[in-house]
Structure 1
Amino acid sequence: MSYANLSPEVRRFIWPIAGLVLLLLVNVLISPEFFQLEVKDGRLYGSVIDVLNRAAPVALLAIGMTLVIATGGIDLSVGSVMAIAGAVSASLIVSGVDNIALIIGGGLLAGVAAGFVNGFLVGYFGIQPIVATLILMVAGRGIAQLINAGQIVTFHHDAFAFLGVGYFLGLPFPIVLVIITFVLVQLLMRRTALGLFVEGVGANASASHYIGINDKLIKLMVYCISGLCAAVAGMIAAADIGGSDANNAGLWLELDAILAVVIGGASLMGGRFSIFLSIIGALIIQTLTITIILSGVPPKFNLLIKAAAIIIILLLQSPEFHRQVARFRKWRGA
């Protein structure tokens, strides 16, 4: 079966996965031991595990961002929400709270609260998503700095540190958290009517409203989920370094999350979405970073190479690009 005969749904999956496979093969050529895995003390080690582990925060952000973009919105505040969640958990620890449930619960509550503010501004006040979330993107770091009293807060808490550096069934725990989050959100979106509601609101919010879908509530819900995912990513980041750095936690990761969703084939105009492909997009971004490092390219070229590779991947996904290529071939044949 030729590419032209494939359904649009199948085509959506081909290029992101092909891009990831290509990058992995390049890594194998550069470093033949790239796929080698080693078990030490019941834990898996290797370059592939490192890629998955380092991609975990962006993958978590991409899961929530996928739903927001599917409704035709955008969430620029996820990096700042990471900083807030990390600051809340760190402040609870240094204040003497030892109950891990309260520490994690505080971070998650902060994420949901941030998502609620974004969703309320977008859904119920009709503020443009890029403006509404830009407010918290800027103010969020200020809130995190206020929580930390302008300092980098360090702490020692073994149970909380497990979120960032622990292992479960041989895998780094951040990877496990991504898997759990993906399964839960995927079940919520594909085994209930919520997924169709999200796609309907993204495709045409007005029409969805007139057929009885509460588009305001759907938007509020997806921003809360985005905030929740960002909170988990923020606590992973804080647990990994044993501290909360309000200035640098999650800095610019919102851009990587948006890019991961776009690489996964989602339209910024809203509508159909794939959480799985968004995670593939996050893996592509992290694998590309590892590829550049392994290739020994001078650091000053890293961002340019990364941008060029991503442009190529996006062009390969573009139906218009394929149409232009087909026209060019036809013109040359004539």
Structure 2
Amino acid sequence: MNWIKTGLQHQLLWPLLTLVALCGLDLAHNPAFLSVTLLDGHLFGAPIDILNRAAPLVLVSLGMTLVIATRGIDISVGAVVAIAGAAAATILADDPSRVGLALVAALAVGVLAGMWNGLLVAFVGMQPIIATLILMVAGRGVAQLLTGGQIIPIGAPGYLVVGGGYLARVPCSVWVAVGALAVTALLMNRTALGLFIRAIGVNPVATRLVGLRSSAIVFGVYTFSGLTAALAGILISSNVRSADGNNAGLLLELDAILAVTLGGTSLLGGRFSLAGTVLGALIIQTLTYTTYSIGVPPEATLVVKAAVVLVVSVIQSATARTVLVRQLKRALPFANKKPAAEAAR
């Protein structure tokens, strides 16, 4: 029975089962759901489409994971996505050949935005939700100022390949997300940075008293969140071939927070899972695909998404897991039997 209890308490179990259940529902509705074919020299199919569209959310969620792990929150990532796309589009509108400059500018504004949030949170001492709310409101205005309130089309081939092109028959956006995940996982698991972030989330006062430069680490975490949001902004603007200061990245911060929490990261800080975050992002994107494929009315899509998130979140709670283990003990007679060696003692 111990292995059942251990399995039920694993933080990746329920997100994985949720993703499998959604894929099973899609497979029941469309037997060709998992089929992947080669079309025009690249892979084509529902799984590829889900991975491609989930890539920006994965990027934003990676930064959000580290922010939440330090007991923070960043609700400005959607605005940063819009600013990054607008900055790149503004440069390309003047000269479509300046792709490198456009990419650097987009990443630079993301880093600056993250540094601004980090400055307010780590050094000024402002509450994270208030500090990032400021940029959430002002950033959307900055994006609209850059675009002049219009949708700026992007036609530079070198820029469009980043979010709409293919590498080794797989969308480039997927490779960007995989690369960002690999670098983040390497920093968190192979260096002391991951331990420091967990320590700050568990007890920020104690980490400061033992000499850890917690303010610098929190500042770096928010800067990283701005960078990942800018990467997502590049992918989104490249994929849709335009920059929209009003709608780009709209409500993306909420999906990112959902992805992080669905993956098992605690909003109280100190515990996070990058693999769980990726699963959470895939759940949200697969759920979106499922609602459209099975014919759920558009006006009910958000309600269905909220219901699924609620169910998964409740199941992940410690209380719900305890009740489930208790019910399994009652349902499985062998679970209550002690091993022979233990009974002999």
TM-score of the superposition, structure 2-length normalised? 0.92
Amino acid at match of 2:284: I
C-alpha RMSD of matched pairs (Å): 1.8
CA distance in 2, matches of 1:254, 1:3: 35
Does the CA contact (< 8 Å) of 2:144 and 2:150 recur in 1? yes
Identity between Structure 1 and Structure 2 (%): 44
Are 2:135 and 1:136 equivalent residues in the alignment? yes
Query: Secondary structure of 2:38's partner?
Result: strand
SS at match of 2:250: coil
Deviates more, 1:66-75 or 1:151-160: 151-160
In the aligned structure 2, how far is the partner of 1:288 from the partner of 1:155?
30
Kept in 2, the 8 Å contact 1:84–1:246? The answer is yes
Structure-1 separation of matches of 2:106 and 2:237? 11
Q: Which residue of 2 aligns with 1:4?
A: 5
| CA shift for structure 1 position 150 | 2.1
Instruction: Judge which range, 323-332 or 240-249, deviates more.
Output: 323-332
User: Counterpart of 2:216?
Assistant: 217
Q: 1:330 to 1:274 in 2, by over 3 A?
A: closer
Residue number in structure 2 paired with 1:282: 281
Larger radius of gyration: 2
Asked if the contact 1:112/1:228 (under 8 Å) is kept, the reply is: yes
**1:188-245 superposed Cα distances (whole Å, 9 cap, x missing partner):** 1111111111111111111111112111111111111110000011011111122110
Specify the alignment match of 1:273 in structure 2.
Answer: 272
Per-residue deviation, residues 41-96 of structure 1 (Å, max 9, x unmatched): 33000001011111111111101100000000000000000000001101111122
For the residue of structure 1 that corresponds to 2:12, the secondary structure is: helix
CA distance in 2, matches of 1:228, 1:65: 11
Question: 1:167 is aligned with what amino acid?
Answer: Y
Report the Cα distance in structure 2 between the residues aligned to 1:95 and 1:78, rounded to whole angstroms.
26
> For the Cα contact (< 8 Å) 1:97–1:103, is it kept in 2?
no
Q: Is the 8 A contact 2:71 2:269 kept in 1?
A: yes
Mapping for residues 22-37 of structure 1, pairs under 5 Å: 22-37=21-36
Aligned residues between the structures: 331
Note if contact 1:266-1:274 (Cα within 8 Å) is conserved in structure 2. Answer: yes
Partner of 1:253: 252
Tell me the CA shift for residue 6 of structure 1. 4.3
Flag the 1:5–1:238 CA change in 2: closer, same or farther, 3 A.
Answer: closer
Q: Deviation string for 1:149-206 (max 9, x for gaps)?
A: 2222113100000111100111111111100100011111111111111111111111
Paired residues of 2:96 and 2:156 also in contact (CA < 8 A):
no
Deviates more, 1:245-254 or 1:155-164: 155-164
> Which residue pairs with 1:319 in the alignment?
318
Give, in whole Å, the separation in 2 of the partners of 1:197 and 1:246. 36
2:146, 2:293 → 1: CA distance? 39
Structure 1-normalised TM-score?
0.95
Question: C-alpha displacement at 1:331, in angstroms?
Answer: 10
**1:283-316 deviation digits (Å, cap 9, x = unpaired):** 0001111111111122232221111111111112
Three-state SS of the structure 1 residue aligned to 2:75 is coil
Unaligned runs of 5+ in 2: 332-345
* Code of the aligned partner of 1:323: T
CA contact (8 A) 1:63 1:275 kept: yes
Letter in 2 for 1:288: L
For residues 300 and 241 of structure 1, what CA distance do their matches in structure 2 show? 23
Q: Secondary structure at the match of 1:124?
A: helix
Q: Distance in 1 between matches of 2:278 and 2:141?
A: 30
